[in-house]
Amino acid sequence: MGWWMLKGQANPMETLVQDMLQGSRRALARLLTHIENGQADEALKALHPHTGKAWVIGVTGAPGTGKSSLVNTLTKGLRAQDKTVAIIAVDPTSPFSGGAILGDRIRMRELSGDSGVFIRSMATRGSLGGLSRATRDAVRAMDSAGFDYVIVETVGAGQSEVDIVRTADTTLVVEAPGLGDDVQAIKAGILEIADILVVNKADRVGASQTVRALRAMLELGHPSAKEHLVAHHGQMMTVSNHTPPAQGAFWNVPVVQTVAIDNKGIDELITAIQSHRTFLAESGTTIARKTRFIELELRERLQEALIQRLTQVVPAETFKDIIEAVQTKQIDPQSAVVKLLEITYNQP
Amino acid sequence: MRAPRVLIAKPGLDGHDRGAKVIARALRDAGMEVIYTGLRQTPEMIAEAALQEDVDVVGLSILSGAHMTLIPRIREVMNANELSDVPIIVGGIIPDEDRESLRALGVVGVFGPGTSTEDIKVFIHGLVDAKGAS
C-alpha cells in the first residue's frame, strides 16, 4: 500500500507505465530515471509483455573511434527508412566523485527536433551489475514504448561494457585506423563479440591495413577451416584452428568501412545489419541466441541479488570479525566464504 | 542518495564555452551527472534534451547579452513540454537590473563572473533536496 491509496489516487507507477505505452515521452524519461535508480520493479513487470518488438543494436569500440558520430549517422539512415530509433549512450562515472559528464549528445545534435528519435545518456555509476541491469531494463522500456530500433552505445573499455552490448541482437564493434596494431584487437577480446566490424574514419591513412588485419583475424576464427595456411617469411605455414565449431549455420562477420561524419558507408552498414537480422531468422538462431542471453542475464541478476541478500542478513560486525580471522590466519579466505554462505542460508 | 542530473547548455550564437565547461567539470567533481550539449543550442533543443534526460535543473550559460530574448523563449518551450517544474539557473554576463525580470520568468538562480563553483554546487543540491522533499 502506498500513499496514493490514502489520497484516493491512482498508483503513480501504473499511471507512468500507461502514459508511456500511450506515447508520452516525459513518462518514458521518468521511467528511465526510476530504472537507473533501481526503483522500477513493478513497472518492469507490467512492461515485460510489451517487449520484444524492437531490434537492439549494440555499438562498442575504443574511445576515439567515432562511435557517437556513427550512431548519429546510422540513426539518420534508419530515419530515412521511416524507422523510429531510441538511443542509450553510456559514459563513464568518475571513480573519484561519483559524478559524470555525459557528452554524447554533442555528436547527435542533428537528431534533435525529430519526434522519431529519443536519446538518453547514462552514467556507468558504481557497480558493474547495476549498469548492465539498468541498461537492459532501459532497453526494455524503450522497446515497449514502440521504437523500431534501440541502439546502445558504450565505450568498449571494460568487461561490463562489453557484456552490455553483447546481449544486443546485432553487435557492432567500431575500429579506426591508427589506434594500435592488430594485437590490440586480439587482446581486448572484443572482436569475438562482433556481428559486424566497422572501420570508421575510413578516409584516413592506414584504413586499408586495418581492414586487412581485421579480415585476417576473422579468417583465423572461421570454423570452415580446421587448419589455415599462413604466409610467414616467404613460407606457407599451417596453423590449426582452436575455435570450437559453431553449431549449424555460420555468420560471416562483414567488415564495413564508414566515414560517419561524411555519411559514407552508412547504407552498406544498414544493409549488413539487415542481412544479419535475416540470417538469424532464417538459420533459426534468433531463439537460441535470445535464450543464451536470458540465461546470462539471470545469472548476473542472481549474483547481484545473492550479494545483496548476504549484506542484508550478515551483520556488519560478523563480516568484520571474519575479515579479521582471515587476516590473523585463523581461517583461509575460501573457508571464510563457506562460513558467510552458511550464515546467509540459515537465515529465514 | 542519487546523483542530481543537470543539463548544461549554451543557447544562442556566442561561441565562448569555457565557462560552461568549467561549471560542467566542477559539478561532476561534486558528484553530479552533467549532460553537456555543446554550443549554439536552440530553445527547442534545450527543452528536448531536458525532457529526454529527465534532469533536475537546467543550467544556461549566456555571454552574448541576449538573455532577455533567449530565456523567456526557453521557459516557454519547456513549459509547453510539461517541464514547468524544472528550474532554470543562469550563468554569464547578466546586468543587475535584469535579475529581477529573470526571477519573474522563473529563473531561480543567477550566477555572474566571480561566483565560486562551491556556491553553485550548494545551490543545486538545495534545489534537488527541496524537490525530493515535496
Domain boundaries, position B106: 5-133
Measured between beta carbons, the chain B residues lying within 8 angstroms of A33 are 5, 54
- Asked whether residue A298 is assigned to any structural domain, the reply reads no
- Asked whether residue A304 is assigned to any structural domain, the reply reads no
Number of domains chain A is built from: 3
Q: Answer yes or no: do A99 and B37 touch at CB < 8 A.
A: no
- Asked whether residue A299 is assigned to any structural domain, the reply reads no
What would the pLDDT profile of B4-53 be if each residue is shown by its tens digit? Answer: 999 999 997 777 788 888 899 999 999 999 999 988 889 999 999 999 99
- A172-185: average pLDDT: 73
Residues A220 and A281 in one domain: yes
Cell numbers placing A195: 556481428
Q: Which of A33, A94, A102 sits opposite B54 (nearest CB)?
A: A33
What would the pLDDT profile of A253-301 be if each residue is shown by its tens digit? Answer: 999 999 999 999 999 999 999 999 999 988 888 888 888 888 988 988 8
Supply angle C-alpha A211, A161, A21, rounded to 5. Answer: 110
Measured between beta carbons, the chain B residues lying within 8 angstroms of A105 are 35-38, 49
Residues A80 and A164 in one domain: yes
Closest-CA residue in chain A for B31?
A99
The interface pTM score, or ipTM, of the predicted complex is 0.90
- A142-163: average pLDDT: 83
What would the pLDDT profile of A13-38 be if each residue is shown by its tens digit? Answer: 889 999 999 999 999 999 999 999 88
What would the pLDDT profile of A93-104 be if each residue is shown by its tens digit? Answer: 887 888 888 988
Residue A42 buriedness (CB in 10 A; 0-12 / 13-18 / 19+)? middle
CATH number at residue A272: 3.40.50.300
- Asked whether residue A330 is assigned to any structural domain, the reply reads yes
Domain boundaries, position A340: 314-345
Phi-psi region of A158 (alpha: psi -120 to 50; beta: other; left: phi over 0): beta
Residues A229 and A121 in one domain: yes
d(C-alpha A96, C-alpha A79), whole Å: 39
- Give how far the C-alpha of residue A172 lies from the chain's centroid of Cα atoms, to the nearest Å: 10
Number of domains chain B is built from: 1
How distant, in Å, are the alpha carbons of A210, A314, A323, A337 from that of A329?
53, 21, 10, 14
Residues A8 and A79 in one domain: no
Answer with the one of A270, A285, A300 that is the final residue of a domain. A285
B17 touches chain A (CB under 8 A): no
d(C-alpha A51, C-alpha A135), whole Å: 14
| Sequence-separated (6 or more) residues with CB below 8 Å from residue B94 | B62, B67, B102, B110, B112
d(C-alpha B47, C-alpha B95), whole Å: 25
Residues A211 and A82 in one domain: yes
d(C-alpha A169, C-alpha A252), whole Å: 16
* Secondary structure of residue B61 in the 3-state scheme: strand
In contact, B28 and B34? CB cutoff 8 Å: yes
How far does the CA of residue B98 sit from the closest CA of chain A (Å)?
Answer: 30
- Asked whether residue A179 is assigned to any structural domain, the reply reads yes
Measured between its terminal Cα atoms, the distance across chain A in Å is 24
In contact, B67 and B102? CB cutoff 8 Å: yes
Measured between beta carbons, the chain A residues lying within 8 angstroms of B36 are 101-103, 105-106
Measured between beta carbons, the chain A residues lying within 8 angstroms of B52 are 25, 29, 118-120
